């Protein structure tokens, strides 16, 4: 990993849909010569026909595909239940030196949701695991590529024990045609076609619909009252936050949490949100720290930015160490971002 701009670990609950979806994004980053290392676990079961390795200087070298076993690190007994195991595995990645780690899982009847979210708050070398969560399943995020929804699906797929009904394909007498399961909704509306085994879709066909899905996910979250527990909401997804981040690399977007101090270099940032976004910036050092009009920007889901900082330089000194800046929502922009170096952007959704 030496010399790489950043390395990211993505731990997926599923063994096919999630790994294949994010591997597709990873492959496009490699094609665009983005200097990044992304490790996705488990590995997709279907290997590509050709595998390339990005080498220093932007040259790609063809290598032979190697079939490896899915290796799970040693998880302590108290964390082995779903979904805490995914958060703990991501934490182990942080312990091993990853810059950033994400755990992707869904509700789908799993217990221990509260425990998983609490576990993710524990810091590992001053870093925390990010959670990309969906209710009722990852396919909720897939559905948003094609339509907005507020349907509280009851399950990912309809089944009787190991028998899957493949709803929407008119092959089973108990086909719900998308009334109960999100899989059936996707198939019955003709958004995607299953290939006859489990929940297998081809993910290459809707890469250009990503911005639509991100906007729909944001609108869905905003439809709920504030302070709701996210794992009690249905439908819900915040997978778009990881997807947005990956699509915007090599710009490093770091998702801020409300009312939580973020320490970066000698500064502390704190974001609060009501009808506006208030950003409190504190200089904790004795050295002067300068911010300018390019430090703040409104951001669209496609990454387009509009600078919105003051034309005057913000000059923090030992005697002037705190400032508060307020930003109102504006049409067409979904986020507000703050940067100190034009590479790392702390970002949060507008009201």
Does 101 share its domain with 14?
A: yes
Distances (CA, A) of 233 to 71, 86, 140: 32, 20, 12
Among 224, 250, 276, identify where a domain stops: 250
Does 132 share its domain with 242?
A: yes
pLDDT at 337: 97
pLDDT at 266: 85
Does 131 share its domain with 270?
A: no
Does 206 share its domain with 89?
A: yes
Q: What are phi and psi of 19, to 5 degrees?
A: -60, -40
- pLDDT class for 294, splitting at 50, 70, 90? confident
In a domain, 150, yes or no: no
Beta-strand pair 335-339/296-299: antiparallel
Does 108 share its domain with 212?
A: yes
Beta-strand pair 100-106/163-164: unpaired
Does 288 share its domain with 244?
A: no
What is the Cα–Cα distance from 106 to 139, expressed in whole angstroms?
10
pLDDT digit string, tens, across residues 120-175: 999 998 899 999 999 999 999 999 999 999 999 999 999 998 888 989 988 899 99
Count: domains in the chain: 2
In a domain, 319, yes or no: yes
Does 224 share its domain with 279?
A: no
CB 320 within 8 A of CB 229: no
Does 213 share its domain with 86?
A: yes
Residues 6+ apart with CB under 8 A from 135: 106, 107, 230, 231, 233, 234, 235, 236, 237
Nearest to 104 by CA among 254, 251, 256, 243: 243
In a domain, 163, yes or no: no
In a domain, 285, yes or no: yes
Compute the average pLDDT of residues 13-40. 88
Flag whether pLDDT at 22 surpasses 70.
yes
Percent of the chain predicted with pLDDT > 90 = 59
In a domain, 184, yes or no: no
Percent of the chain predicted with pLDDT > 70 = 86
What is the Cα–Cα distance from 316 to 322, expressed in whole angstroms?
7
In a domain, 152, yes or no: no
pLDDT digit string, tens, across residues 65-85: 433 444 556 788 888 888 999
Does 107 share its domain with 19?
A: yes
Among 215, 250, 285, identify where a domain stops: 250
Q: What are phi and psi of 95, to 5 degrees?
A: -60, -30
Does 59 share its domain with 207?
A: yes
Work out the mean pLDDT of the chain and round it to a whole number: 86
Among 186, 221, 250, identify where a domain stops: 250
- Asked if the peptide bond before residue 61 counts as cis, ω within 30 degrees of 0, the response is no
pLDDT digit string, tens, across residues 190-200: 898 776 555 56
Domain of residue 222: give its range.
7-140+201-250
In a domain, 160, yes or no: no
CATH number at residue 339: 2.60.40
Does 14 share its domain with 87?
A: yes
Does 67 share its domain with 97?
A: yes
In a domain, 176, yes or no: no
pTM score > 0.95 for this model? no
């Amino acid at each position: 990993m030496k010399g790489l701009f950043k390395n990211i670990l993505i731990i997926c609950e599923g063994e096919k849909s999630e790994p294949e979806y994010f591997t597709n994004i990873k492959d496009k980053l490699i094609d665009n010569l983005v200097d990044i290392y992304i490790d996705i676990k488990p590995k997709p079961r279907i290997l590509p026909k050709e595998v390339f390795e990005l080498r220093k200087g932007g040259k790609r070298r063809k290598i032979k595909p190697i079939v490896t076993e899915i290796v799970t690190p040693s998880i302590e007994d108290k964390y082995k239940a779903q979904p805490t195991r995914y958060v703990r595995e991501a934490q182990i990645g942080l312990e091993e030196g990853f810059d950033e780690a994400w755990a992707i899982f869904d509700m789908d009847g799993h217990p221990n949701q509260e425990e998983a979210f609490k576990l993710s708050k524990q810091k590992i070398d001053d870093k925390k695991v990010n959670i990309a969560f969906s209710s009722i399943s990852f396919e909720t995020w897939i559905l948003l590529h094609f339509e907005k929804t507020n349907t509280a699906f009851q399950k990912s797929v309809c089944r009787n024990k190991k028998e899957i009904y493949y709803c929407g394909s008119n092959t089973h007498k108990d086909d719900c045609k998308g009334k109960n399961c999100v899989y059936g909704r996707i198939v019955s509306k003709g958004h995607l076609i299953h290939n006859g085994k489990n929940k297998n879709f081809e993910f290459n066909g809707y890469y250009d619909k990503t911005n639509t899905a991100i906007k729909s996910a944001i609108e869905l979250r905003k439809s709920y009252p504030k302070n709701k527990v996210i794992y009690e909401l249905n439908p819900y997804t915040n997978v778009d936050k990881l997807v947005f981040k990956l699509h915007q690399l090599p710009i490093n977007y770091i998702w801020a949490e409300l009312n939580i101090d973020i320490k970066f270099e000698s500064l502390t940032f704190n974001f609060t949100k009501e009808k506006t976004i208030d950003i409190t910036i504190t200089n904790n050092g004795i050295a002067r720290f300068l911010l300018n009009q390019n430090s703040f920007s409104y951001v669209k889901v496609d990454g387009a930015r509009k600078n919105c900082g003051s034309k005057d330089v913000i000059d923090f000194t030992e005697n002037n160490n705190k400032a508060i800046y307020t930003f109102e929502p504006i049409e067409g922009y979904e986020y507000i971002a703050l940067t100190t170096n034009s590479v790392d952007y702390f970002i949060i959704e507008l009201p």
